[in-house]
Structure 1
């Protein structure tokens, strides 16, 4: 199930242990992990891959991500991010968060619309609920970037540097 390649990871993946590389375009991971998985539009016409927009923080959330990842026909997810991300690369991702946020705002508006005549087959009204759910995922990603992600990433920087959870009151690194 976890055969994703780090060098092929989606640039939108939030730093952490889980990430998606080259995935199928079925866009069904949100069925099991709507609080963690989003879809991109890299193939056009309502098609694209997936990425992890919120890392799991407890066993139930890990289970959700595992279930969502298990649906990917390309087995493009991986969970070795702790061995791949560095303090510097996390800081670089955070410094560039405006780009991913801008992308998420645009796709949320596009996929949240009620019609997409340029999408051909995917413009069928039967798929409207799917794309509206995907747009909600993008809005959730924006909200996470705006509120919560910085604190998570500061804790993740601590984990990458110390390989342990911070003790109560222990200072966290700055992004």
Structure 2
């Protein structure tokens, strides 16, 4: 997802959710970790950094601002239905799985879907502002549209 933090080439030991369950989900095919929610405070940043630290391949990054542009964030937003479909299908497959790790991972996918339908739009509008203006918005300042 668009943002400064991401997981790209992680391993398959699924440690990300143990460290940052409110920010990380796992892919089904590879076990790759995906950062789905940006941290909002120092404690959440610390948890996400711990998830990065526990990844033996060093597959996390925090230089997303150098790669995302306002146009690419908007393009990602227009295609979010693909993420919803993937997360919904995988959540269904893992919800009743015999493996307790997959059942727990289904919980993370439920959280991702709630975030996608809830706070994500506002988060991305704040992120767009930061990308465009290189600063946080001032009180009552209008945020860019997605």
TM range (shorter): over 0.9
Q: Which of the residues 124, 130, 133 maps onto 1:162?
A: 133
Where does 1:1-175 land on structure 2 (aligned, <5 Å)?
14-43=1-30, 48-115=31-98, 128-175=99-146
Q: Secondary structure at the match of 2:122?
A: helix
Which TM-score applies when normalising by structure 1? Answer: 0.81
Cα deviation digits, residues 10-65 of structure 1 (max 9, x gap): xxxx211101111100011111100001000123xxxx211101011111100000
Distance between the aligned counterparts of 1:77 and 1:97, measured in 2? 22
The offset of 1:114, in angstroms, is 3.2
Structure 1: 5+ residue stretches without partners? 1-13, 116-127
Distance between the aligned counterparts of 2:56 and 2:97, measured in 1? 29
- How large is the RMSD of aligned CA atoms in angstroms? 0.9
Distance between the aligned counterparts of 1:85 and 1:133, measured in 2? 30
Which TM-score applies when normalising by structure 2? Answer: 0.97
The offset of 1:108, in angstroms, is 0.7
Distance between the aligned counterparts of 1:82 and 1:92, measured in 2? 16
Aligned residues: 146
Distance between the aligned counterparts of 2:66 and 2:40, measured in 1? 17
Structure 2: 5+ residue stretches without partners? none
